[in-house]
Chain A
Amino acid sequence: MDNTVSADLRDLDTSGPSGPRPRRTFSRRNIFLYGTLLVIALYYLLPLYVMVVTSLKGMPEIRLGNIFAPPVDVTFAPWVKAWSQACTGLNCDGLSRGFWNSVRITVPSVVLSIAIASVNGYALANWRFKGAETFFTILIFGAFIPYQVMLYPIVILLREMGLYGSLWGLVIVHCIFGMPILTLLFRNYFTSLPEELFKAGRVDGAGFWGIYLRIMVPMSLPIFVVALIIQVTGIWNDFLFGVVYTRPDTYPMTVQLNNIVNSVQGVKEYNVNMAATLLTGLVPLAIYFASGRFFVRGIAAGAVKG
């Protein structure tokens, strides 16, 4: 028996392919793939490059008109001016005022909306109260109504409540408009967690809040980070609600930026405008970089069969 097997092996032609299949670096497929990626990357990076170099040049250098040339004389004066001295039509203390307004709008909006939406999602996913489906349908339907339709009714509402023009008015608006998508996000996440964990919590005697705070939330870090990114970028970058629901002294950074860039007095200071724009975009950028590390998978590992 053994003999026949080895005899067969001896007759085999073993000169053919063996081991891993060779991969060619410069195959046509690779050239096409990386070429496309490179072109797309350049397309997105070029404007950013122009902004950065322009913001580091003085006005005489900009007037030469060579927008792609790197700065000969690097200066940070435009950044300083954009932050603290640039003028809108109304005041001349730069973006700093708008920055602090934006912080005071974004932090409470993000915290409140995520807190409420996560509890909503948890209740919808796990407690299946009477009318839960109807509630959810209405909420999701709300996400499809264009903002513009509701702009003016909300102005009236806020005025009646005495909140029109205040930061808290805007915070409430952001919470309401973020609610459908965030609730959907959290509901779907909590539905995907094993239901037996919830049951185990109930048998162990934990109530609505006990299960939420001590079992669900600790398991849900990834989805909280996703919600955080969505909300911070969305609210920080918001212009429409900011311009409609606040007054000049409570304008968020985006509105302030617009007013600086579009102010009609004096010469256009391109370097200051570029620096101001970059400054405004720094916060969402920082959030992306900081939270990427928390995108850890497998938080629920070990809960169920492994």
Chain B
Amino acid sequence: MESVIVKDLSLNFGAVKVLNSLNLAIEQGEFLVLLGPSGCGKSTLLNCVAGLLDVSAGQIFINGKNVTWEEPKDRGIGMVFQSYALYPQMSVAGNLSFGLRVSGMPRDEIDKRVSRAAEVLQIESLLNRRPAALSGGQRQRVAIGRALVRDVDVFLFDEPLSNLDAKLRSELRVEIKRLHQRLKNTMIYVTHDQIEAMTLADRIAVMKGGVIQQLDTPQAIYSQPVNRFVAGFIGSPGMNFLDGVLAKGPVFEADGLTVDLERYQFESTDGTGRTVQLGIRPEHVLIGEAAAAMPHTAETAVELVEPMGSDTLVWTRLGGQAFALRVDAERAVRDGDTIRIGFDPARASIFDAVSGERL
């Protein structure tokens, strides 16, 4: 059963159309990540689901109930904000219990829920402190706890980790994943960090300009991006894009380069003659002896080497265009070396140069 359904949702701020007829269905217990660049309307969509913004058109259903006109508290959602938004003059316990106290829940039930949430998040020892006396990670835990005590079916996270430093972020990321495994709630998680998206999500919705570009599993989004935007947005270092034309064969042709595309799975058939872009991920390009076994190989000169610790990014040229590949850090590659590289065109992506759609 679907837990959250967003149907034909539009939202305008005055004349600015942020969301336009957006549709989205989220399964019970699913971890959905909304991923996209800044300003694409992720927070806006989340606020609409939470009931913090009045929609301009469309409907929202949560657990089969039409909640389009409901107050946030009646929607069965809990929300975690980017800035934590803890009530500064209340203790941690006060923060956790505020919503329950407002709803007039009996004292002993409140205590039970607060201590359970504190135990899950390991903040029992902090219950009497004020938010000002907590570290960033602890604050974010309290913020999650505030959603936890409400015992809701749907959790909404708006970039909960983006104020934390890299190490803490990866720690809390794991904790959120564990929490989801344990609670099995539906979670909608906004981020513009693709690592968070890939690691946490059951499905990712990649957004751009208020439109969902692709809604699929992390693996599918990584290996079969539906358009150039998604391909470029996912993956770090980013995908290589080579400009060229699609010729009969089918082959991809660029300045002095011909790639045989016989094994490539085309989505549309009449591609021949179009100007296209061939997208290849740096990590799918092999080097040296391993390259020889690949369907497509080439000899090129190394232009620049960027060591990244775990591996090294090597810049060279292919078909007259800049081209990066990722090699093991153990491998000694220096500027000016001539190397043999190889890749499998079946793992590449081909996009129409005009529309950007996958072919």
A positions within 8 Å CB-CB of B:
194, 196-197, 199-206, 210, 214-215, 218-219, 298-306
Contact = CB atoms under 8 A, between A and B. Distances in A.
Given A302-B132, A303-B131, A305-B136, A203 B87 contact: no
A205 B73 contact: yes
Nearest to A199: B52
Contacts of A203: 50, 52, 72-73, 77-79, 99
B165 to A, nearest CB: 11
17 contacts: A194-B85, A196-B84, A199-B79, A199-B81, A200-B86, A202-B52, A202-B73, A204-B98, A204-B146, A204-B150, A205-B72, A205-B73, A214-B102, A218-B89, A300-B88, A301-B132, A302-B88
Contacts, number: 88
A302 B73 contact: no
8 smallest CB-CB distances across A and B, nearest first, come from A302-B132, A205-B73, A204-B99, A302-B131, A196-B85, A304-B83, A303-B88, A200-B85
A205 B88 contact: no
Contacts of B103: 205
Interface of B: 47, 50-52, 71-73, 77-79, 81-89, 98-99, 102-103, 130-134, 136, 139, 146, 150, 163
Nearest to B103: A205
A47 B71 CA distance: 62
A303 B103 CA distance: 23
Contact of A204 (B102, B130, B133): B102
Contact of B85 (A199, A206, A298, A299): A199
A194 B143 CA distance: 15
Contacts of B131: 302-303
Contacts of B89: 218-219, 299
Nearest to B152: A203
A219 B77 CA distance: 26
A62 to B, nearest CB: 55
Given A203-B52, A203-B78, A305 B99 contact: no
Given A205-B103, A302-B88, A200 B136 contact: no
Given A204-B146, A215-B87, A219-B88, A306 B73 contact: no
Given A302-B130, A302-B132, A306-B136, A206 B88 contact: no
Contacts of A301: 88, 132
Contacts of B88: 219, 299-303
A142 to B, nearest CB: 27
A249 B81 CA distance: 59
Contacts of B98: 204, 206, 214
Contacts of B52: 199, 202-203
Contacts of B71: 202, 205
A304 B79 contact: no
B86 A303 contact: yes
Contacts of A305: 83-84, 136, 163
A105 to B, nearest CB: 33
B93 to A, nearest CB: 14
Nearest to B99: A204
Given A206-B102, A302-B88, A196 B132 contact: no
A37 to B, nearest CB: 37
B99 A196 contact: no
A47 B315 CA distance: 80
A306 B84 CA distance: 10
Contacts of B130: 302
Contacts of B84: 196, 303-305
Given A202-B71, A204-B146, A205-B73, A304 B85 contact: yes
Contacts of A200: 79, 81, 85-87, 146
Most B CB contacts (10 A, CB to CB) among A202, A210, A298, A299 go to A202
Contacts of B146: 200, 204
A210 to B, nearest CB: 6
Nearest to A204: B99
A262 B139 CA distance: 64
A75 B71 CA distance: 70
Contacts of B132: 298, 301-302, 306
Nearest to A196: B85
Contacts of B136: 305-306
A121 B288 CA distance: 70
A210 B139 CA distance: 23
A168 B285 CA distance: 85
Nearest to A198: B85
Contacts of B99: 203-206
Given A196-B81, A303-B85, A305-B136, 19 more contacts: A194-B85, A196-B84, A199-B52, A199-B85, A200-B79, A202-B71, A204-B98, A205-B99, A205-B103, A206-B102, A215-B87, A218-B89, A301-B88, A302-B88, A302-B133, A302-B139, A303-B83, A303-B86, A306-B132
